[in-house]
Amino acid sequence: MTFPDQRIPHPEGHTAGRAGWLRAAVLGANDGLVSVASIMVGIAASGASTSAVVTGGLAGLSAGAMAMAAGEHVSVSSQVDVEKADRAKEARELADAPEAELAELTAIYESRGVPPALARQVAEALQEADPLQAHLRDELGHSEHTTANPVQAALASAASFLTGGAVPFLGLLAPTAARLWLIVVVTLCGLAAAGVLAARTAGAGVLRPALRVVLGGGLAMAVTAAVGQLAHTSGI
Distance CA 171, CA 183 (A): 4
Cβ within 8 Å of residue 2, ≥6 positions away: none
Instruction: Using DSSP, state whether 22 is helix, strand or coil.
Output: helix
Whether the predicted pLDDT of 148 surpasses 80 = no
CA distance 128 to 122: 10
* Phi then psi dihedrals of residue 174, to 5 deg: -80, 160
Provide the pLDDT for residue 9. 47
What is the reported pLDDT for 234? 66
Q: Average of pLDDT values for 168-175? A: 88
Q: Given pLDDT bands bounded at 50, 70 and 90, which one contains residue 203?
A: low
Residue 10's pLDDT is what?
A: 45
For residue range 62-114, what is the model confidence (pLDDT) as tens digits?
A: 999 999 899 888 988 888 888 888 778 877 877 787 788 788 778 888 878 87
SS3 31: helix
